[in-house]
Amino acid sequence: MKLLFLHSDFIEFEAKKPALRSPPPLTDAEKQARVEDALVVMYSVEKVDEDKIDGAVAAALANLKDVAGQVKAERVVLYPYAHLSSSLAAPAKAQLAGEKLKKAATEAGYQVTSAPFGWYKMFNVKVKGHPLSELSRSIGAEEVKAVEAAKAEGKEDARESEALKKEKKLVSNWYVLTPQGELTLAKDFDFSPYPELAAFHKHETQGTRAAGQEPPHVRMMKEMELVDYEPGSDPGNFRWYPKGSLVKRLLETHVSDIVADAGGMRVETPIMYDYEHPALSKYLNRFPARQYVLKSEDKEYFLRFAACFGQYLIMHDTTMSYRHLPMRVYELTHYSFRREQTGELSGLRRLRTFTMPDMHTVVADMEQAKAEFLNHFKLSMQWMDDINVPYNAGVRFVRSFFEENREFAVNLAKLLGRPILIEMWDERFFYFVMKFEFNVVDTQGKAAALSTVQIDVENGERFGIQYVDEAGQRKHPLILHTSLSGSIDRNVYALLETEARRIAQGQKGMLPFWLSPTQVRFLPVSDAYVPACLEMAQKLSFLGFRVDVDDRDQGVGRKIRDAEKDWVPLTIVYGEKEAAAGKLPVRMRTGESKEVSFDELAHLARDMQGHRPHAKLPIPAKLSLRPIFHG
């Protein structure tokens, strides 16, 4: 079946004369219609569809739902259009398929209008003209077969991987492991001293990914002019304003520096891969994620949901021996794609396009894997400390692996210094035997994973990756999947949700000093003191700090309030008294105040910055010259 989707302001049509000897009869009312703001689905039923009408209709409906979801269409016009194919089904079969598609789309909740079958028609359509307003799909035998199989299992998504299917059927046992080595069923554990762990456990066992209401970080990210929804794109994609882009870039730089210091070698790989590549197609069924699919000529490709594929293929072509191991390969994927379900999209917590720092480490055996795992766990703790958000550890095991490596699990709890939540599977569903995640819990009680490491026992062999051991024998390695930070976008979510909770408790919201778009702001009491403030701001900028000057024609009270609203860590009111004394009255966002010299101010900023990366101010230093991006 061939499909052409037109997202239209309107379509109007009128049946003029029969195109078949005995076309379906029409009343006058059925001969013409006009439908406003609709997704027009032009379709051709083909010869190859005749023996599998139900499968072709199910696949067509899946594509219709996908496109309608992307363009947010509730009205659908089904328009039989023979000109899409040169190999048409018999009219009776095509008419039957059209009727079944109309029935299925109506049952799916769409307002459906169907143009007459078997008649020559006049039509007029006005297409909206945005990037998704004209899309074509071709439903081949493989897609029909996949949809039929999915439908037989009660599933709707033809692209659903085997791992996703198994994840839905997954039965877990939940425990809490203490640093003292005590393993307790979670239902019997006293969570009262650990409210954050209790909230994490509740989400994992009783919660849902679906967003019930808009989380507070969405309002905050807009008001602070960090990031916003992009109406011209697929839901789950965002535009980053200059201040938000700065925060994102600093996070990217910092995690990349940590990886480089740990020996990670940086690479770049494509964002799309061949659906029919033998190793990749098998891996897709082992990874619990939904893919975006695109066509190039007659081939289907999927957009990557991680850097795994490209790095595996690099490793396959790499000559390595045991002396090179552990070998760490790293990529900062600015574009990773997961076609999350619409109801699960919630600001920056779950997106469809995101930035993911991805490292894969080749190791010789399980002992080397556990040593690397431990190192990455420590680096992830460093990361979480640097962004200063509360977190809990969730560690997931295949039961047999846990029983063989219990002391290793206890060491993780000891390192963390508090209990960890354990999920245990009786059998291995995925390609890994264990993984950990550092999770944050937001204001709505939903947990989201940041840092993560997995021990992969399958893909070294699946992708033909080999190393030469001490005896000269070729062997398949184990592989660690590591993201020390997790999604960069989700880190911004975690930062803002953490501050939303603090604000709700009567505290001031603040970003870590190294991530604050403006780190120091001078507030001149009048125009006469603007030049001196600009001079000091320039000197501090030369030292690597982001400094601005509120030169607007506003009172000092208004300037202070705006600095509070912008979460500026250090503010300095400067006038005649300060100029005469040579001392700067620093108001700290933590509530402290102190008088310091300029050199002492520079030392204070250095201490607050620490070892984290610097970046230049992303907007004009004078507030009077700044455009307003939101609100």
- Number of C-beta neighbours around residue 212 at 10 A: 11
Q: Which fold has domain 172-268+323-495?
A: BirA Bifunctional Protein; domain 2 (3.30.930)
pLDDT of residue 152: 60
| Contact predicate 329/360, CB 8 Å | yes
State pLDDT tens for residues 155-213. 444 445 555 555 555 567 999 999 999 999 999 999 999 999 999 999 888 866 555 57
3-state secondary structure of 158: coil
Q: What pTM value is reported for the model?
A: 0.74
Query: Could you tell me how many residues make up the chain?
Result: 631
Sequence-distant (≥ 6) Cβ neighbours of residue 313 within 8 angstroms: 269, 463
* pLDDT recorded at residue 302: 83
**β-sheet bridge partners, residue 470:** none
Which value, to the nearest 10 degrees, does the dihedral of the CA atoms of residues 209, 210, 214, 217 take? 20
User: What is the CATH code of the structural domain delimited by 513-625?
Assistant: 3.40.50.800
Annotated domain spans of the chain = 2-152, 172-268+323-495, 513-625
| 3-state class (DSSP) for residue 590 | coil
CA atoms within 13 A on the CB side of 197: 23
* Fold match between domain 2-152 and domain 513-625: no
Rounded Cα distance between 598 and 1, Å, is 73
pLDDT for position 116: 93
CA terminus-to-terminus distance, the chain: 46
- What is the per-residue pLDDT for 158? 44
pLDDT tens string 207-248 = 665 555 788 999 999 999 999 999 898 888 899 999 999 999
Q: What is the pLDDT of residue 465?
A: 95
Q: Which residues of the chain have pLDDT under 50?
A: 155-159
CATH of domain 2-152: 3.50.80.10
